[in-house]
Structure 1
């Protein structure tokens, strides 16, 4: 009977409105795999003490997979921050500083603090590490800094190469999956940085990262995408460079955050 109830819950969750996942399985693994190449030996050892043999890439989707367990529902609004349109940089920073409800910015900071706290338990550390790995990836998906009224583009229904989708899902999965690469192949294809790029990207704090994604999000909206639009090759051509750069920045910055925690 318990197994039957569990199956029913999983099926129900599968058909719930798509509102919080980002990058999809492949995208999160790409971010995690890229991060693996920029963490130092001390960080690698600290992560191994928490995750064991599980790699950053493979733990990157835990925060989405755990949605099948209703006891973790409290994590759902950690994955994004809804921002009104046309805010200045100072407006965005002010919004983030004065937003008390759980969101991707304040919860990422909170999880960083948990890992830095020597009194945190191993259970607390494992949750914090898994969430940081996932949320930094989410933070670089521009539609996770989008509008509340359309659920971050989820309500904008369209066709992606003839298949029913929505604007959020196109950015989560459609553009990445269209490249037809495994996550390790994708990493090899885009993980080419200069030392100066790494230095500059890792200088950005979380507020900078939010604003950067928000700026891209505004550009996505200004293209005038609306319900029933048909997206395919042209949309891929126009935006895949942005997707790849955000994946790469996400991985580099994730490594920078982890290195700073364990310095």
Structure 2
């Protein structure tokens, strides 16, 4: 991780002029807000030492904002946001293919960032940057098409129309499904975060590989039901809104679990 904290502060406020990526602005903030509501006391204290009074949602989209940085400093991080896997219906095969992949990906970097945060030798600035990336990338994990297929770039090459407007499958899942509900991120987080303690514990079971496979299975269903040139409208919202909301909730609860374990 490079120590360029001053650049980070400047870029954090460029959202109004940037394109949004995984889950869009609202989705990532929903996930971060839900996670914050489930942090342990110790995790809250440790994170506050690192982040100050800013909530997790404040930084949730920064790793997407920096994609517009022209210095090249953050170029290497673009591949951290996804992992491509051919369609798999067996967890063991999925896990084998996941671990056999070469180079950085969503899978490898969540592990790397977690290690950096735990390592006492990591500088304070780099530890904060690692935490910001981790908040975002655990959100990416729950967006199914970030565990999609290489040949269509996670749905980016699958053309669709959404209520008559030209788009692509990835973009629909990044933001259009979420934003069409017209909630603020705090409203949506409050509406979704209603599970019992036992249900929360169940959602948080498993490990990183399990959670990635969970998203991969949903991606396979999305692909099967959204062929190229699909015309998407209210019927698509009806079909997938529950799935979209599940992924936002699960993303937040599993981020909280990871952070509680780290701290």
Same fold (TM > 0.5): yes
Match of 2:239 in 1: 238
Distance 1:193 1:216 in 2: 21
Match of 2:4 in 1: none
Per-residue CA distance 1:24-74 (angstroms, 9 max, x = gap): 110000000000110012111111111112210111101001112231011
1:222 to partner: Cα distance: 1.2
In the TM superposition, what are the counterparts of 1:13-162 in structure 2 within 5 Å? 21-69=21-69, 70-162=72-164
Distance 2:225 2:160 in 1: 14
Q: Name the count of aligned residue pairs.
A: 246
Per-residue CA distance 1:124-176 (angstroms, 9 max, x = gap): 20111011100000000000011111111001111111111110000000100
Structure-1-length-normalised TM-score: 0.90
Distance 1:190 1:239 in 2: 15
Provide runs of 4+ in structure 1 moved above 4 Å: none
Which runs of 5 or more structure 1 residues have no equivalent in the other structure? 1-9
Per-residue CA distance 1:180-228 (angstroms, 9 max, x = gap): 010001111111111122111222211001100000000111114212x
Match of 1:259 in 2: 260
Which runs of 5 or more structure 2 residues have no equivalent in the other structure? 1-13
Q: CA RMSD in A?
A: 1.6
1:87 to partner: Cα distance: 4.5
1:14 to partner: Cα distance: 6.1
Determine helix, strand or coil for the equivalent of 2:160: strand
Distance 1:121 1:198 in 2: 33
User: Is this contact kept in 1: 2:85–2:98, CA < 8 A?
Assistant: no
Distance 1:232 1:248 in 2: 23
User: Is this contact kept in 1: 2:89–2:217, CA < 8 A?
Assistant: no
1:86 to partner: Cα distance: 3.2
Determine helix, strand or coil for the equivalent of 1:203: coil
Match of 1:170 in 2: 172
Per-residue CA distance 1:49-106 (angstroms, 9 max, x = gap): 1111221011110100111223101100000000112352111111122222111011
